[in-house]
């Protein structure tokens, strides 16, 4: 996948985040920001959800770019360091670089589409199902891969896996339906 050109206000916001640090650091991101910026969908979001910070103190990232920070007030967007997220075990090997050539210190990495939707599985709100449909409409999701990752890398982490089993079945039905419409 080619390097992504970030759109406003994210381009200026992330450039300012990069400029605030003096050593390389890496952020693993997910959510609506990834859907909008990496997959080029019209999706309004005011935050970038971060599940992992490497090479920088997580508190420094939150203080620099989190809700209520100077950069948040300046750009009207912010970073949300997510403290609880259920993501597939092997997600790190599948991360996608996002605008890596743009920054001096910041390495922004996004969850791959299957991992991205699995991270939303337990919430299962309308917006999550719409994101699933968008990704499926572009052929970015394979039902077999989704089920395999769920069963092998995520299910054991969940407090009520029987509930999520049903949600996964519903989501696979959505993927199959979208595939028939393509």
CA distances to 16, 88, 95, 102 from 149, rounded to whole Å, are: 36, 7, 14, 31
Which residues of the chain register pLDDT less than 50? 1
Domain boundary assignment for the chain: 10-111, 117-181
Q: List the beta strands (DSSP E) in 42-179.
A: 47-54, 78-81, 96-97, 106-110
Rounded Cα–Cα distance for residues 97 and 37 (Å): 12
Give residue-wise pLDDT tens across range 51-83.
999 999 999 999 999 999 999 999 999 999 998
Residue 162 is predicted with a pLDDT of 95
pTM of the model: 0.94
Task: Describe the strand order of the beta sheet including 96-97 as a list of residue ranges.
Answer: 78-81, 47-54, 25-30, 106-110, 96-97
Contact call for residues 71 and 13 (beta carbons, < 8 A)? yes
Contact call for residues 66 and 79 (beta carbons, < 8 A)? yes
Residue 23 is predicted with a pLDDT of 97
Nearest to 152 by CA among 138, 139, 141, 168: 168
Contact call for residues 56 and 23 (beta carbons, < 8 A)? yes
């Amino acid at each position: 996948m080619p390097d992504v050109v970030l759109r406003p206000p994210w381009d200026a916001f992330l450039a300012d985040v990069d400029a605030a640090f003096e050593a390389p650091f890496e952020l693993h991101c997910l959510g609506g920001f990834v859907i909008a910026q990496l997959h080029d969908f019209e999706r309004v979001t005011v935050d970038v959800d971060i599940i992992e910070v490497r090479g920088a103190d997580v508190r420094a990232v939150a203080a620099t770019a989190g809700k209520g920070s100077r950069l948040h007030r300046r750009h009207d967007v912010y970073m949300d360091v997510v403290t609880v997220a259920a993501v597939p075990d092997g997600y790190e090997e599948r991360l996608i670089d996002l605008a890596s050539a743009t920054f001096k210190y910041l390495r922004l990495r996004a969850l791959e589409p299957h991992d991205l939707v699995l991270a939303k599985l337990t919430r299962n709100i309308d917006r999550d199902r719409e994101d699933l449909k968008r990704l499926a409409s572009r052929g970015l999701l394979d039902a077999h891969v989704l089920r395999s990752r769920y069963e092998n890398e995520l299910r054991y982490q969940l407090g009520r896996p029987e509930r999520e089993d049903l949600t996964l079945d519903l989501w696979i039905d959505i993927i199959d339906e979208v595939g028939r419409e393509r």
